[in-house]
Amino acid sequence: MKYTAITIVSFTFTSVTAFFPGFPGYAPPKAAQSNFLSEQIEVGTMSLSPLGFGTLNLPLDKTQDDANALDVMKTARAKGVNFIDTAEAYGFGKSESLTSWAAEEAGFTIGAAGVEDGCYIATKFAPVPWRPGAESVVQACQASAQRLGVDSIDLYQIHWPDIIQPLKSIGIEKRKDEQYWDGLAQCYHQGLAKNVGVSNYGPTMIKRAHKALADRGVPLVSNQINFSLVRYQSSLETIKVCEELGIQVLAYFPLGNGLLAGKYDLNDKSTLPTFPKSITMKKYLKGSQTLLQEVQTIATTNNVSCAQVSLNWIMKKGVIPIPGCRNGAHALDNFASLDFVLSEEEVERLDVASMNSMEFSSGGFELE
């Protein structure tokens, strides 16, 4: 990955539930350059800010959607955040339409490389069982492009490996990953997608996808995974392989479903999520106290929020975090992680605390 001077963008997500029912031998991912916040990251044909945002967390209530999405977009543009991630699975395509509308209303120019106030929008194909193969990817890409109001999508990704196998319990499993990769290649060669990527791919799958696409003359530019201070050890091998192959890692759930944002307190029930999520959150809060205390200490030292420390740590690893943003205020807090730089000593302290913390396994996929 190359780095050239510039600034940054970020986005948010909406629900995917309708679509789907430790490596101690590896060295930690290398830290980015100390002045990384003033640089853009070259990913395929895109020049991305070191931080983006996802649209999953925008509310589904129509009365709130437009205003919140527009506030997030305006905040992103003001902070130089130029990378927005969405998916057809978020609100059955609604998120894509909302994202495009809000970006343009906020003054962004979608997919305009090198243009001031340009932004890049990434979206994803949902590999559900009733989609038979390559043509499904092409058709879905065309539909997403229409909802986004573009002729060619900046970054088109496969949302997860073909792991939803309804008949697996009776011994029947038919994976269509190869066909989906062929579909990605067709989207690229037909000009429907400027760049292609994958999501939730582990070391084995990322190597296979990289080779399959390379054989078709297509560069695989990104892999989006669940990565954070509470999802560190299990991601190391995947990140190592991606670095070796020149694939940019994008991090969803960079705040561990809110665990790293400093908003939950074991001693204050009013801060905890509702049942049954509260049971899971209590477990991880208890298992992550040393890490959370370290995050808080570093946040206090730098006069920043816990969320900003957690996001800055990810950027120091050369990974692009894409936190969800519910509204403009939430976005502003996340984007302020661009306004300071953790010291190498602080990064090392967080590494150690993370390695000794309970691994967060709620949400996302197990990488294969």
Query: Shortest CA distance to 81 belongs to which of 13, 12, 1?
Result: 12
| Residue 90 appears among annotated catalytic residues | yes
> Model confidence over 222-264: pLDDT tens digits?
999 999 999 999 999 999 999 999 999 999 999 998 999 988 8
Mean pLDDT of 9-26: 35
The pTM of the full predicted model, rounded to 2 decimals, is 0.87
Domain spans in the chain, listed from the N-terminal domain onward: 2-355
Identify the architecture of domain 2-355 in CATH: Alpha-Beta Barrel (3.20)
User: Strands (DSSP E) along the chain, which ranges?
Assistant: 2-5, 12-13, 39-43, 46-48, 53-55, 83-85, 109-110, 118-125, 155-158, 196-199, 220-226, 248-252, 320-321
> Model confidence over 57-84: pLDDT tens digits?
775 555 566 888 999 999 999 999 999 9
d(CA 294, CA 319): 21
* Active-site annotation holder among 26, 90, 201, 284: 90
Six token digits for residue 59: 């509310």
What is the average pLDDT score of the chain?
86
> Model confidence over 129-152: pLDDT tens digits?
889 899 999 999 999 999 999 999
Cis peptide before 276 (omega within 30 of 0): yes
